[in-house]
């Protein structure tokens, strides 16, 4: 019989039991549930609501249950609905009467929120650690590939030359903000709902500050109705994951492009590639395709919980049971995406020669040419037009800008002089960049130093 | 070693293997995968691509594997990546050489699409059957609750009286369109991708019409690239599920409202209710709250796959491996939602007396009063205003429309006559409805007959 | 004063008026609103509910209003809330008393649904026409590019050679299913809600079949509550748009890739390209980037309305006012995406020579080599391995498969014979394809014929 | 001709121009665009890149253009694409040559990001102000409704009594976290992209710190590629809006429920209610229905931009033009939702008498009864069961807990004593709550004080 069955005369039907149970997935909260129960029991004893010996029995029993769960010896039962009731009922089986006092001044409504907050706090710590690892991998990749110039793209058209290191640091910057969102989310989430009970608090003399401290929370939540109703802490985590997933999908796209025959910038090692069941020559960058693709489910998970919460009246509604699976899946997925991206970064080789050979295509130095003209006093718009015409001339002659003779350049505009050739060609072009945050060598070196220190790379 | 490992010198790392494997969830395709393989092997033999004895070995081996899977004796291996490779490799372990011929003129790219089409076809059949069952439950509920008048709402404000049967039939109509979408989706999906191979078809003389027929498809798909690239058949199914889920969420909301103390229209039986871990008096309509809430994940699943597919070049990309879990979850969820809604419908009692008592509130007969005035030749806008003023008078006197004396009514407008009292009061009001599809008794009876015949209720 | 203001004593505040008005966007329903009102007035007169002269005044007045709207001479007023009330109030201003009879046996609840169904019906017709136009453009592009072989990709890695026509027809197939979904949606949507009134129908003797016929609907909806509550017809349209948008995003991605320096398969003409404000050499395929990007808002629009509808009780709720903007935006966007894709298709040149030169890379013939071995009686898995090793040999020698000598091939497996060279090289490889739907020339020619007839290309 | 047209020989087609233009919506960035241009020009002069007189002409010209825009005298042209090009071209028309120097060391890529960051910063400030206003309105509502007890709900079933003030403060808490997210988002967003140029920075000697300071940014962004590629600052804002929208949708749902005939807890004033076009008696809480419904578009807007950004390679892609409309719409919507919620809060009356009368229903004191038993030393699980049986007895007798005689109670369990009646009944029950954050009077008073101080209410 259910522990809440006092007023009920019939058990729920099988269909309902199967549809409403959550233990099949919320059992992964067991560690945090037990942690919360130990803190709660300790407080109940301190407040004189249960005896010290009851407390000891409870704690010992819970530790035994934890051990059994970890040894795979615990029998999870769907008819006991959820992780909370499974553990409480098992505790009753194990230690008898004292177990019946554990749920004093507590409801599953505050308990489940407490468990999830504890679980998410741990999850965020793992995510941030994985972000740091990816940043370190990217930085190492940068340090191993000094002086490689790659085409910078806008609209996937060749735009200007950039140092490979500069691009890799752009990813590092993105992840830094992603980590910042995680840290903000953690701080806002780290409050205790325990003791809010069903929704109204309790008339029993509990000490919510004590359990809050014991569980490492900043403070108890100020309003018991809010404590059991709110799920914005989960929505914020799912949002932060979704934004991170979008960043990683961009990295995935880029590396998939670079591994293509057509780009040919990188060669992933066999250890991060997979083959085809039918095409013998194939070597595919599957991990990064999946990183790109798995962004879908992280976004989907956010939409799931936003939709679940939309339009619910206060306080707790059973709909909110649906808060767990999207969070579990989102966290597991984002951790995998981060980890495999770091792994991939450590297993690619840049094809320097091939990249080098490809640089002349695409007029990557055209903007530098326009800057040259600005230096000569030509207004930028006019410079842009002159450079544009120079490109058009190259296109008709099928040559590069540095192949144009001074006469040809002067036929477009007389302002050109011999020093123009110091601005043409990718190597010359990249030397010219000087602005803060630009792809100039000194600027990039400064950024590298910043990140080496920040990430404590040795 | 992987079956595609010919050109590879290093195995994938553990992290990559764990991240890229799909067997942990696509193993549930085993039945359809084996079905497809049997059809394929039969065709290969017919076309002389393999011998009859090879075919027989293959088919026998596949049946043995199917049996083992169903008996829980099959060892699924993550290093064998997916359901396809697990079964093919196990077949090789079992029957040796002939197994190596099964993948002739086939790729996992066309195979996985075939499996999913077969799986979804079955899923749709189950969904439509569950929809019929819900329609039948609603209809039975209607048949058991003749002559019950309930308030009809707009803006959750009492609007006009309606027959309960009329409202229940509105749900039946919604589900009918939902079923229509499923059936259209099935028809559009029921084409065979088998034989499209990796993306380009094959040079081996296969017969795609033969496998298409054997598997119950309408025809082979016309274009091999399309066959392995497209996922719109899954997106359409997920969309149809999402729309159905929205309908069920509305039913869920409504029944949750009706089960509240404040509405008090229905009493769910104990067998579809659950209690509280802390509040002894609680009896909650959890199944319908979860029906409402689970709409979130069905919508999230659709968003997941739309996002996955967005911006992918042709043909197959590994991102598409992410097509399975949202489909599996969406189908499982929608089946549960339909099933539990039907179960709930069969386990509620309408509190006729309480409903009856509540009907006087809310001026449900005000529009009938306006219609009365229209019958008297008053333009509708003026009728609306007169009726509005009558309501305002009632509000100030705290009475109902039928409590107003003829003098009072005439003080608002002299057009009122004694026959107005035949239009006032909920019972009178509902008798007046005559338009096709309206809540008039005859109209509703006609609709009931229509559905009794269509759903073959006895 | 509001037309419904009989029982109200205070006007709404400015903030509320601004927040709740819809006329700023639903005014674009004016044509369908007037169409519906004319049908309604005609029916009211036929049924004797208004006089013939009232009917004539109403119709004449509505036509005058329509003219004024189209001439930009109509003053839309936010205090009149929506398109319906603006037109009705303007009609009253124009023709006086008869206008007050127009809303007899009608509510905005059924009226707005009728308007939207009419509007969407027209929208679907336009969308399907634009789809046909895109298919025709793609087919013309195919007809203008006979015999071009391009690399077929999976995982964005070169897979097997395909005819360009084959790939272009893959897009045509996708759009064909997209059109099918539109047509199914139209058929399911094409029922009349008019006469459902607020939610319960009416006591006045209207003829819903007459208005349904007059407006070209299949039949009146069977249930008045369903008629005003349901929005699944809009959700279905938004879903169909979203799936189409995903297809177009894939086309966009592909053409953006092909226009890159690295692929270099196509050159878009200047007339469909844009430049950079800073980089003089840039020529960007912006229209297709936007086609890819605008898939986001079409998906977002679907999510919007799914979320709006989630959890709403019956019948009409004001939330449903939010059904219009996502539909208007989605339709406008998808029409633009289709139109510009067709325009782009007509303005690209395939760089045959560059494509041709690139074909040797990527071992596109490796699977044909495996098929060769199957023909020789080698089991496919073994063939795959042998071909894989041949590729590995080429990689180490930096050559193509057809550069391997017979001795080298035989060193891998003695089964090779001189006829192997008829299977190597992209041109040979593509000649071998024979399966239905494959990229073999005859197969593709057959498909071209099918589409030429179906799309009535001359 | 386009300002970037140097290398182009044909203008874009009308279809492409219409599809790619953004000025129709990004013109609302004009103020921030001009602000940025003035800062940029000032810096260019300081660095000697333009003359002081050029700078003065530019600034004067820009101010003139701003004035014209605000006076509605500016002619926005679609052929000039976007707000940036419209203003630059108009400046050229106005002041000639100096205008051609404004775009020195700047690209639209960094410019548009700068504009949006400035715009969003202002938007966030407005949103936070509106949040404060809503909090203040809720607090005032609380202060005006001392001592009102309402039923607290879980599962929309009556759970325990709560002070109305307690529930209103729960909303205040939610909005407080919403505001916190806005503030974090603002801090993370407030960095300058100006000077990142196209993607690589520039070779011209600009001072990015100077423009950053002038525009009130914390610092220039560290990496130019990141500066033009990233959109996570917008995604974070859209996420924060979406979470806020979900909170407001819950408030909307609750107030719609409370305004229903069945709950009857509140009466919205006429000034925030609307009527029906057909039903004369209707008075609907439309603003809060729309608040609930508009959550859909805010969520949809987030999905839009997440989808747009998914899978884009670095750096800028034209897809990113689609970042503006969802942000503009989301901000406008959330501001409206906040504003109208505050307005509604100030225009509702609590129907104290009706609420009071309804309190006996639902056994709101059952948990207090269980607490009573805990105080008597009964383990909670047993207390729960005893209280559950007491409720069952009441149900069978159709009475309340306080109607049970001591004998009846003792027939369930002998532990009951006369003091039990001090715990029964809603008024007694609520007096018992003592835990921090609970609904006990003292606890709520403490929270009220906290908020009065924090929000500086007088």
Q: CA-CA distance, D371 to A45, in Å (whole number)? A: 16
Question: In terms of Cα–Cα distance, which of A107, A120, A119 is closest to A40?
Answer: A107
Is residue A434 within 8 A of residue A371, CB to CB? The reply is no
Judging by beta carbons within 10 Å of its beta carbon (0-12, 13-18, 19+), is residue C92 exposed, middle or buried? Answer: middle
Predicted local confidence at residue C91, as pLDDT = 98
Q: What average pLDDT score do residues B271-291 get?
A: 90
Is residue A102 within 8 A of residue A37, CB to CB? The reply is yes
Per-residue confidence at D210, pLDDT binned at 50, 70, 90?
very high
Per DSSP, chain C holds a count of helices (H) and strands (E) of 18, 6
Number of B–D residue contacts, CB under 8 Å: 138
Q: Quote the minimal CA–CA distance from C353 to chain B in Å.
A: 22
Residue D202 main-chain phi, psi, to 5 deg: -145, 160
Question: Catalytic one among A75, A155, A277, A435?
Answer: A155
What sign does the CA torsion over B410, B412, B414, B420 have?
negative
Q: CA-CA distance, A423 to A434, in Å (whole number)? A: 14
Instruction: Characterize the bridge pairing of strands A191-192 and C348-350.
Output: unpaired
Summarised one tens digit per residue, pLDDT across range C162-195 is 999 999 999 999 999 999 999 999 999 999 999 9
**Residue A447's Cα: distance from chain center in Å?**
23
Give yes or no for residue D6 having a pLDDT over 90: no
Residue B229 at interface with chain C, using a CB cutoff of 8 Å: yes
Predicted local confidence at residue B280, as pLDDT = 82
User: How many CA atoms lie less than 13 Å away from C244 in the CB half-sphere?
Assistant: 34
Summarised one tens digit per residue, pLDDT across range D68-79 is 999 999 999 999
Residues 416-445 on D with a CB inside 8 Å of A are: 432-440, 443
Q: Quote the minimal CA–CA distance from D82 to chain A in Å.
A: 17
Contact between B300 and A295 using a beta-carbon 8 Å cutoff: no
- Please give the full DSSP string across C13-82, using - where no structure is assigned: PHHHHHHH--HHHHGGGHHHHHHHHHHHHHHHHHTTSS-HHHHHHHHHHHHHHHHHHHTT-----GGG-S
Identify each DSSP E strand in D271-404 by its residue range: 348-350
Residue-averaged pLDDT of chain B = 96
Residue B101 at interface with chain A, using a CB cutoff of 8 Å: no
Question: In terms of Cα–Cα distance, which of A319, C186, C333 is closest to B288?
Answer: A319
Q: Quote the minimal CA–CA distance from B132 to chain C in Å.
A: 18
Q: What average pLDDT score do residues A303-327 get?
A: 97
Number of B–C residue contacts, CB under 8 Å: 424
Q: CA-CA distance, C54 to C103, in Å (whole number)? A: 13
Cβ neighbours of C272 in D, within 8 Å = 12-13, 16
Cβ neighbours of D201 in A, within 8 Å = 433-440, 443
Q: What average pLDDT score do residues D287-300 get?
A: 98
Summarised one tens digit per residue, pLDDT across range A335-347 is 999 999 999 999 9
Give residue D260's region: left, alpha or beta (phi > 0; psi -120 to 50). Answer: beta
Query: What chains are in contact with B, requiring at least 3 Cβ pairs below 8 Å?
Result: A, C, D
Predicted local confidence at residue A1, as pLDDT = 60
Q: CA-CA distance, D349 to D336, in Å (whole number)? A: 22
Predicted local confidence at residue B278, as pLDDT = 79
Q: What average pLDDT score do residues D25-47 get?
A: 98
Residue C177 at interface with chain D, using a CB cutoff of 8 Å: no
Summarised one tens digit per residue, pLDDT across range C31-71 is 999 999 999 999 999 999 999 999 999 999 999 999 999 99
Q: Which residues of B339-361 are buried (b: 16+ CB within 10 A; e: fewer)?
A: bbbbbbbbbbebbeeebeebbbe
Is residue D61 within 8 A of residue D99, CB to CB? The reply is yes
Contact between B280 and D256 using a beta-carbon 8 Å cutoff: no
Number of A–C residue contacts, CB under 8 Å: 138
Nearest neighbour of A307 by CB, restricted to B109, B283, B300: B300
Mutate to test the interface with D, among A222, A294, A304, A307 (most CBs of D within 10 A): A222
Is residue B212 within 8 A of residue C226, CB to CB? The reply is no
Give yes or no for residue B222 having a pLDDT over 80: yes
Q: C269 in helix, strand or coil?
A: coil
Cβ neighbours of B105 in C, within 8 Å = 371, 374, 380, 435
Per-residue confidence at A452, pLDDT binned at 50, 70, 90?
very high
Per-residue confidence at D458, pLDDT binned at 50, 70, 90?
confident
CA gyration radius, chain A: 30
**Residue D19's Cα: distance from chain center in Å?**
31
Q: A162 in helix, strand or coil?
A: strand
pTM: 0.97
Lowest-pLDDT range of B57-66, B305-314, B361-370: B361-370
Residue A275 at interface with chain B, using a CB cutoff of 8 Å: yes
Contact between C278 and A154 using a beta-carbon 8 Å cutoff: no
Per-residue confidence at C305, pLDDT binned at 50, 70, 90?
very high
Contact between D197 and A435 using a beta-carbon 8 Å cutoff: yes
Q: Quote the minimal CA–CA distance from B188 to chain A in Å.
A: 25
In angstroms, the first-to-last Cα distance of chain A is: 60
Q: Biggest alpha carbon distance in chain B?
A: 100
Contact between A439 and D201 using a beta-carbon 8 Å cutoff: yes
Element (H, E) at A417: none
Residues 35-94 on D with a CB inside 8 Å of C are: 81, 84-85
Q: D434 in helix, strand or coil?
A: coil
Q: What average pLDDT score do residues C382-403 get?
A: 93
Minimum Cα–Cα distance from C246: chain B residue: B310
Per-residue confidence at B2, pLDDT binned at 50, 70, 90?
confident
What are the beta bridge partners of residue D152? D160
Interface predicted TM-score (ipTM): 0.97
Predicted local confidence at residue B216, as pLDDT = 98
Residue C335 at interface with chain A, using a CB cutoff of 8 Å: no
Contact between C262 and A262 using a beta-carbon 8 Å cutoff: yes
Mutate to test the interface with C, among B435, B442, B455 (most CBs of C within 10 A): B435
Cβ neighbours of B177 in C, within 8 Å = 188, 230, 232
The conformation of residue B4, written as its DSSP 8-state character, comes to T
CA dihedral B116, B122, B128, B130 (to 10 degrees): -110
Predicted local confidence at residue C1, as pLDDT = 60
CA angle A282, A284, A288 (to 5 degrees): 175
Per DSSP, chain A holds a count of helices (H) and strands (E) of 18, 6
Q: What average pLDDT score do residues C291-309 get?
A: 98
Per-residue confidence at B11, pLDDT binned at 50, 70, 90?
confident
Per-residue confidence at B4, pLDDT binned at 50, 70, 90?
confident
Contact between A278 and B198 using a beta-carbon 8 Å cutoff: yes
Question: In terms of Cα–Cα distance, which of C197, C192, C234 is closest to C214?
Answer: C192
Summarised one tens digit per residue, pLDDT across range B134-162 is 999 999 999 999 999 999 999 999 999 99
- Please give the full DSSP string across A360-401, using - where no structure is assigned: TTT-TTHHHHHHHHHHTT--HHHHHHHHHHHHHHHHHHT--G
Cβ neighbours of C49 in B, within 8 Å = 374
Active site residues of B: 155, 276
- Please give the full DSSP string across D384-417, using - where no structure is assigned: HHHHHHHHHHHHHHT--GGGS-HHHHHHH-TT--
Residue A1 at interface with chain D, using a CB cutoff of 8 Å: no
Give residue B260's region: left, alpha or beta (phi > 0; psi -120 to 50). Answer: beta
Is residue C155 within 8 A of residue A289, CB to CB? The reply is yes
Nearest neighbour of B16 by CB, restricted to A2, A280, A343: A343
Minimum Cα–Cα distance from D370: chain B residue: B280
Contact between B284 and A106 using a beta-carbon 8 Å cutoff: no
Summarised one tens digit per residue, pLDDT across range A259-287 is 999 999 999 999 999 888 878 888 899 99
Mutate to test the interface with B, among C181, C220, C435 (most CBs of B within 10 A): C435
Contact between A155 and C279 using a beta-carbon 8 Å cutoff: no
Question: In terms of Cα–Cα distance, which of D231, D235, D206 is closest to D101?
Answer: D206
Nearest neighbour of D367 by CB, restricted to B280, B286, B311: B280
Other Cβ atoms closer than 10 A to D76: 17
Predicted local confidence at residue C458, as pLDDT = 80
The Cα-based distances of D436 to A198, A221, A229 in angstroms read 14, 9, 17
CA dihedral C127, C128, C134, C136 (to 10 degrees): -150
Contact between C100 and B381 using a beta-carbon 8 Å cutoff: yes
Is residue D350 within 8 A of residue D260, CB to CB? The reply is no
Percent of chain B's residues with pLDDT above 90: 94
Summarised one tens digit per residue, pLDDT across range D90-122 is 999 999 999 999 999 999 999 999 999 999 999
Question: In terms of Cα–Cα distance, which of A120, A146, A129 is closest to A342?
Answer: A129
Summarised one tens digit per residue, pLDDT across range D216-242 is 999 999 999 999 999 999 999 999 999
Residue D141 main-chain phi, psi, to 5 deg: -60, -40
Predicted local confidence at residue B279, as pLDDT = 83
Q: What average pLDDT score do residues A156-179 get?
A: 97
Give yes or no for residue C260 having a pLDDT over 70: yes
Summarised one tens digit per residue, pLDDT across range A195-229 is 999 999 999 999 999 999 999 999 999 999 999 99
Per-residue confidence at B1, pLDDT binned at 50, 70, 90?
low
Predicted local confidence at residue B352, as pLDDT = 96
Residues 398-417 on B with a CB inside 8 Å of C are: none
Instruction: Characterize the bridge pairing of strands D266-268 and D348-350.
Output: antiparallel
Judging by beta carbons within 10 Å of its beta carbon (0-12, 13-18, 19+), is residue C1 exposed, middle or buried? Answer: exposed
Contact between D443 and A201 using a beta-carbon 8 Å cutoff: yes
Element (H, E) at C350: strand C348-350
Instruction: Characterize the bridge pairing of strands C157-163 and C149-154.
Output: antiparallel
Summarised one tens digit per residue, pLDDT across range D362-418 is 999 999 999 999 999 999 999 999 999 999 999 999 999 999 999 999 999 999 999
């Amino acid at each position: 019989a259910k522990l809440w069955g006092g007023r009920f005369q019939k058990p729920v039907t099988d269909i309902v039991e199967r549809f409403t149970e959550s233990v099949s997935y919320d059992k992964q909260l067991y560690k945090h549930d037990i942690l919360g129960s130990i803190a709660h029991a300790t407080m109940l004893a301190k407040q004189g609501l249960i005896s010290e010996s009851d407390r000891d029995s409870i704690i010992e029993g819970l530790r035994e249950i934890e051990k059994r769960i970890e040894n795979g010896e615990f029998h999870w039962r769907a008819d006991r609905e959820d992780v909370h009731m499974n553990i409480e009922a098992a505790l009753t089986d194990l230690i008898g009467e004292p177990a019946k006092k554990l749920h004093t001044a507590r409801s599953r409504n505050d308990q489940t929120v407490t468990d999830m907050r504890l679980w998410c706090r741990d999850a965020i710590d793992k995510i941030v650690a994985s972000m740091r690892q990816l940043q370190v991998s990217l930085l190492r990749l940068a340090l191993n590939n000094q002086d490689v110039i790659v085409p910078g793209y806008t609209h996937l058209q060749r735009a200007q030359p950039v140092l490979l290191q500069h691009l890799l640091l752009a990813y590092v910057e993105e992840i830094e903000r992603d980590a910042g969102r995680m840290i903000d989310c953690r701080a806002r989430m780290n409050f205790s709902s325990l003791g809010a009970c069903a929704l109204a608090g309790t008339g029993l003399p509990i000490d919510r500050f004590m359990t809050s401290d014991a569980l490492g929370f900043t403070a108890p939540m100020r309003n018991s109705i809010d404590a059991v109703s709110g799920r914005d802490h989960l929505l914020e985590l799912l949002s932060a994951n979704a934004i991170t997933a979008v960043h990683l999908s961009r990295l995935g796209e880029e590396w998939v492009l670079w591994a293509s025959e057509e780009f040919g910038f990188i060669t992933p090692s066999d250890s991060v590639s997979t083959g085809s069941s039918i095409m013998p020559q194939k070597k595919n960058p599957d991990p990064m395709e999946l990183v790109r693709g798995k962004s879908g489910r992280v976004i989907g998970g956010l939409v799931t919980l936003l939709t679940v919460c939309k339009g619910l009246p206060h306080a707790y509604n059973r709909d909110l049971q649906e808060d767990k699976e999207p969070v579990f899946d989102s966290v597991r997925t984002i951790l995998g995406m981060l980890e495999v991206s770091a792994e991939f970064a450590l297993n690619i080789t840049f094809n320097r020669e091939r990249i080098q050979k490809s640089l002349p295509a695409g007029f990557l130095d055209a903007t530098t040419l326009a800057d040259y003209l600005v230096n000569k006093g030509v207004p930028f718009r006019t410079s842009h037009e002159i450079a544009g015409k120079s490109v058009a001339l190259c296109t008709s002659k099928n040559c590069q800008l540095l192949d144009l003779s001074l006469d040809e350049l002067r036929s477009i505009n007389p302002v050109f002089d011999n020093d123009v050739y110091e601005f043409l060609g990718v190597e010359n072009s990249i030397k010219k960049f000087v602005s803060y945050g630009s792809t100039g060598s000194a600027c990039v070196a400064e950024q590298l130093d910043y990140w080496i220190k920040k990430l404590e790379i040795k």
